């Protein structure tokens, strides 16, 4: 094998001498010092690994890097024909510690014997056309070579599923009294908008907003809050299969018999403002609200 490589090298050198006498006349038979290389072939890119460019040959690379063709062949046993190297091919340059070939990953793939663009495309769930677009130096899709580094098309990350919606406003139910409405003593429930910090638990925020009002009448609106004299805190709020369960702790104090149905209507409207709620149950200190309202609640 060693003798065959030497014969191949001699053949290449003879061909080079015939094709380029001007270079041959100034080129010694051994390694070419970098100082003697033509200016257009300055060894600026002769690192441990060299990437073959269009028009390169082993001879021009050896001249550029100040080494022999035989040394190049010894450092690159994958080259079986010294007359055939290809643009994009990576060659180990003697004198440095060559890095290992890039490991297959989401960005590049190192061609192995038996690979085709079709099998690579199938392996990485892409298409031959996409591989060709990502590797414009591949002129013929039927010609790829072991050791060649191929860029893989970038696959976009799947979109992140949207999280639950965030609410910054909720509705709080108050009472418009003596309006010939269906609630209490001829009253009507009126929803008032309240701003809240962004939250994914709007029903809890709405309950907290209702319980935070301790004025009998809401501003200048004339709307009445039958819970103004109650001091309650939220223990938990859950929604399961359309059933909202509101658990409160503290003291419930109402102003009269008309307030019982008004409070029941408030909590009912509080939950039904959300499409996910079909029914509302309220407990205060573990007791159902309807029991505390003497059976007058809804």
Output the pLDDT for position 189.
95
Q: What is the distance between the alpha carbons of residues 152 and 127, in angstroms, rounded to a whole number?
A: 10
For residue 65, name the pLDDT band (cuts at 50, 70, 90).
confident
Domain presence at residue 22: yes
Domain presence at residue 182: yes
Same domain, 120 and 225: no
* Most confidently modeled range among 44-58, 78-92, 245-259: 245-259
pTM above 0.75, yes or no: no
Same domain, 133 and 50: no
Q: Which residues form the domain of 267?
A: 167-292
Output the pLDDT for position 45.
66
Domain presence at residue 161: no
Output the pLDDT for position 15.
44
Q: What value does the mean pLDDT take over residues 171-178?
A: 94
Contact between residue 202 and residue 170 where contact means Cβ atoms under 8 Å apart: yes
Same domain, 275 and 200: yes
* Most confidently modeled range among 31-40, 183-192, 254-263: 183-192
Contact between residue 88 and residue 39 where contact means Cβ atoms under 8 Å apart: no
**Number of structural domains found in the chain:** 3
For residue 2, name the pLDDT band (cuts at 50, 70, 90).
low
Output the pLDDT for position 233.
94
- According to DSSP, residue 34 is labeled G
Contact between residue 172 and residue 213 where contact means Cβ atoms under 8 Å apart: yes
Tell me, letter by letter, the H, E, C secondary structure of 252-293: CCCCCCCHHHHHHHHHHHHHHCCCCCCEEEEEECCEEHHHHC
Same domain, 141 and 174: no
Domain presence at residue 162: no
Domain presence at residue 156: no
The yes-or-no verdict on residue 146 having pLDDT over 80 is yes
Q: What value does the mean pLDDT take over residues 121-145?
A: 87
Output the pLDDT for position 31.
39
Same domain, 191 and 263: yes
The yes-or-no verdict on residue 121 having pLDDT over 80 is yes
Same domain, 190 and 132: no
Same domain, 63 and 130: no
The yes-or-no verdict on residue 30 having pLDDT over 60 is no
Same domain, 70 and 120: no
For residue 5, name the pLDDT band (cuts at 50, 70, 90).
low
For residue 4, name the pLDDT band (cuts at 50, 70, 90).
low
Domain presence at residue 157: no
* Most confidently modeled range among 33-37, 116-120, 214-218: 214-218
Q: What is the distance between the alpha carbons of residues 119 and 142, in angstroms, rounded to a whole number?
A: 12
Report the CATH number that the domain containing residue 61 is assigned in CATH: 3.10.350.10
Q: What is the distance between the alpha carbons of residues 118 and 141, in angstroms, rounded to a whole number?
A: 9
Domain presence at residue 202: yes
Average model confidence (pLDDT) for the chain?
A: 79
Same domain, 134 and 214: no
Same domain, 58 and 129: no
Comparing 283 with 66, the larger pLDDT belongs to 283
Same domain, 34 and 63: yes
Q: What value does the mean pLDDT take over residues 237-241?
A: 94
Domain presence at residue 134: yes
Same domain, 190 and 285: yes
The yes-or-no verdict on residue 33 having pLDDT over 90 is no
């Amino acid at each position: 094998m060693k003798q065959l490589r030497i014969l191949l090298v001699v053949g290449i050198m003879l061909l080079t001498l015939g094709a380029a006498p001007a270079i041959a006349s100034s080129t010694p038979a051994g390694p070419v010092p970098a100082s003697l290389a033509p200016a257009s072939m300055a060894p600026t890119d002769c690192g441990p690994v060299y990437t073959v460019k269009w028009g390169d040959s082993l001879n021009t690379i050896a001249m550029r890097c100040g080494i022999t063709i035989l040394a190049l062949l010894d450092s690159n046993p994958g080259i079986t024909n010294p007359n055939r190297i290809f643009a994009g091919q990576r060659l180990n340059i003697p004198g440095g510690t060559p890095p290992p070939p890039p490991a297959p990953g989401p960005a590049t793939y190192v061609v192995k014997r038996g690979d085709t663009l079709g099998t690579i495309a199938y392996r990485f769930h892409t298409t031959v056309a996409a591989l060709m677009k990502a590797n414009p130096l591949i002129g013929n899709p039927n010609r790829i070579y072991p050791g060649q580094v191929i860029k893989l098309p970038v696959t976009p990350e799947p979109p992140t599923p949207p999280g639950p919606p965030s609410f910054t406003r909720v509705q709080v139910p108050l009472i418009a009294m003596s309006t010939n409405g269906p609630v209490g003593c001829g009253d009507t429930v009126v929803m008032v908008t309240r701003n809240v910090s962004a939250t994914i638990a709007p029903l809890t925020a709405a309950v907290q907003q209702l319980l935070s009002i301790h004025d009998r009448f809401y501003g200048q609106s004339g709307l009445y809050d039958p819970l103004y004299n109650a001091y309650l805190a939220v223990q938990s709020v859950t929604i399961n299969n359309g059933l909202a369960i509101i658990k409160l702790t503290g003291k419930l104090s109402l102003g009269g018999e008309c307030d019982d149905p008004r409070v029941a209507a408030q909590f009912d409207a509080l939950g039904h403002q959300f499409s996910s709620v079909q029914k509302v149950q309220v407990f205060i200190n573990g007791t159902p609200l309807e029991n505390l309202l003497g059976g007058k609640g809804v």
